[in-house]
Amino acid sequence: MTSQSSERLRVLVVDDEAPARQRIVDLLRKDAQIETVLEAGDGLAAVEAIEREALDLVFLDVQ
């Protein structure tokens, strides 16, 4: 995707702490360049979402 593209991003947020995940999701949903924000609470759910969806970006908490 180029910076001149009008396509909006499809994003996945992965974090096992629901409050932290929700804060990131809330921020992303306010951005006009973001089309879809999906959530996953663990690695298995993240892998399933990645296999199922055509995503542009994944925010992954690894700690």
Is-contact 9 54, C-beta < 8 A?
no
Q: How confident is the model at residue 59 (pLDDT cuts 50, 70, 90)?
A: very high
Stated pTM of the model: 0.85
Rg (C-alpha) for the chain, rounded Å, is: 12
Confidence of residue 21 (pLDDT cuts 50, 70, 90): very high
Asked whether residue 4 carries a pLDDT value surpassing 60, the answer given is: no
When pLDDT is averaged across residues 33-46 and rounded to a whole number, the result is: 96
Q: Which domain holds residue 27?
A: 10-60
Q: Is residue 28 part of a domain?
A: yes
Work out the average pLDDT over 20-45: 96
- Using the structure block, give the residue that is written with the tokens 């924000």: 37
CATH number at residue 36: 3.40.50.2300
- If one counts the domains in the chain, the total is 1
